[in-house]
Amino acid sequence: MQKKILNIIGAGRVGKTLGRLWHEAGVFNVCGILNNSLNSASEAADFIGAGRAVTSMKDLPPADIFQITMPDDDIENITHALLQSEILREGNIVFHCSGALPSAVFGVLQEKNVFVASIHPVKSFADSMQTIESFSGTWCGVEGDKSALEILRPAFEKLGAKLFSINIENKTLYHTGSVFACNYIPALIEAGLSCFEKAGINRNQASEILKPIIEETVENIFKSSPKDALTGPISRGDMKVVKRQQEALDQWDRDYAELYKILGKRTVALADNG
């Protein structure tokens, strides 16, 4: 069967990484690559090893599939631009990779009998080369039109993705789960490092000191459960220690004091009930 033609609108970290994976696995024929700047679109085309860089939607070639991998805040605008453009044809598939937005953001395109979907890789695309190597095995949350998913599911599976369905109504909470469990870890560790610094231990040494217990804790969470991985004053019931720490933070930094209080409350609940 002839390979389907795919245009990429937004070939940044996710866009160009998927583009190269499609190209290398021979899944789709990557054709148009639209970015804000020609320079970055050309760089993306070089990275992918296929495709023609453009900076205007009218210069995109006709395609079967449109991969919209721009920042979330711009996806709604591009939807209207796509609707007004002459580029979409009946039966086309338009999908994005956002965990924060539903495929319904493309709802207006369904007027043109276009099928829409969202495939959200639960992965950090910080380093494109590294992501190419490690993409296989990535969990991807999937929702959208049946006709779009009939094409996109097997395509992502060819890249080694492990797909799971998301209920579109609960998508915001689903994505919040990743934000809590992943994005907030750096912020929490930063809070820990700041306390060490305030106590007179420099950041580099603080980082070395904390690394083993952070790693052990993460390992224990996945070996058993968050409750079983819990150690420290709250899990021992040393509430006088907790009170003194709260007071020290109250006197030093209002945000950290607030954070400590709320997390402490949830940690007590975790220690009690799991």
Binding site for ligand NAP (CB under 6 A): 9-15, 34-37, 40, 69-72, 74, 78, 96-99, 120-121, 123-125
In the complex with ligand NAP, the residue whose CB is nearer, 27 or 122, is: 122
Q: How far is the CB of 17 from ligand NAP (least distance, A)?
A: 8
Residue whose C-beta lies closest to ligand NAP? 12
| 3-class SS of residue 131 | helix
> Which residues fall within 8 angstroms of residue 67, CB to CB, at 6 or more apart?
6, 7, 8, 9, 10, 15, 18, 19, 95, 96, 97
Q: For residues 40 and 194, which CB has a smaller minimum distance to ligand NAP in the complex?
A: 40
Are 68 and 92 a contacting pair, CB within 8 Å?
no
Measured distance CA(65)–CA(170) in Å, rounded: 26
Block residue for tokens 């003194």: 244
Least distance from ligand NAP to the Cβ atom of residue 89, Å: 20
Q: Could you tell me where the beta strands, DSSP code E, fall in 71-226?
A: 93-96, 115-121, 139-144, 162-165
Query: Do 98 and 72 meet the contact criterion of CB atoms below 8 Å apart?
Result: yes
Residues pairing with 34 in the sheet? 9, 54
Tell the smallest beta-carbon distance from residue 171 to ligand NAP (Å).
12
CB of 266 to ligand NAP, least distance (A): 26
Q: How far is the CB of 22 from ligand NAP (least distance, A)?
A: 15
Q: Which is nearer to ligand NAP, 36 or 231 (CB)?
A: 36
Measured from the CB atom, the residue of 37 and 170 that comes closer to ligand NAP is 37
> Which C-beta is closer to ligand NAP: that of 45 or that of 70?
70
Alpha-carbon span 188 to 76, nearest angstrom? 32
